[in-house]
Amino acid sequence: MYLLDTDGNLTKIPFPPGYDVETDFKYPYANYLGDGKFEVLQGHSEGRKTHLTSFEVSVDSAKKQLDVHNIHPLTMTLSEDFAITRTLPNGENGVIDKSGNVYINRRDLSEPEQVGHIEGFSADNFIRMKTPGREPKFGLRRAGKIEVRKWNDPDAVLFSVDVERSACGSPDCDVASISETYGK
């Protein structure tokens, strides 16, 4: 792991004590949890389940090390017919199955929580969205528009935006992702 300070200096720091650096799995290794705390994950997959160990840490910049506050297990589960999976804030994971059911793997639950359903869902119409803050969102292409929805309330359309298909001369042009920004 590396620590980047405000002056741009990069320092290699050790993983938390007890962390197995040889693990390889499909989730990000570090997530910001808020209040200056991060989690560093290790885990292994067994079929649709990934068993994780979360090391909740804060950075001691003076000592150039991680201070461990908590270590606990958690499991992330994919449905058998998942179509989309995305990492969400706070180390959670969002899943949409082929039928349009939307689930969130919460850190404190053993099974995914179903949070909604998207009628007429197709993975081909899903657009990932980079969202600042703690309210993750995603987009869906729908009849000349892009609908924006929250992962925590996917049944409701927050807003929609018209899409001008003739703005690009190539038939390969399309929206690959959306970034939400805040004005100053």
pTM higher than 0.85, yes or no?
no
**Which residues are 102's β-sheet partners?**
96, 116
pLDDT single digits (tens) 53-94: 889 999 887 888 889 999 988 888 887 899 998 888 777 889
The pLDDT, as a whole number, for residue 169 is 62
Helix (H) or strand (E) holding 74: strand 65-77
* Average pLDDT across the chain, whole number: 84
DSSP class per residue in 118-170 = -TT--GGGEEEEE-SSS--EEEEEETTEEEEEETTBTTS--EEEE--GGGSSS
- Pick the closest to residue 50 from 113, 110, 134 (CA basis): 110
Q: Which of 94, 97, 126 is closest to 113 using CA atoms?
A: 94
Burial class of 112 by CB neighbour count within 10 A (0 to 12, 13 to 18, 19+): buried
Q: Model confidence over 15-45: pLDDT tens digits? A: 888 888 777 666 557 877 778 888 888 888 8
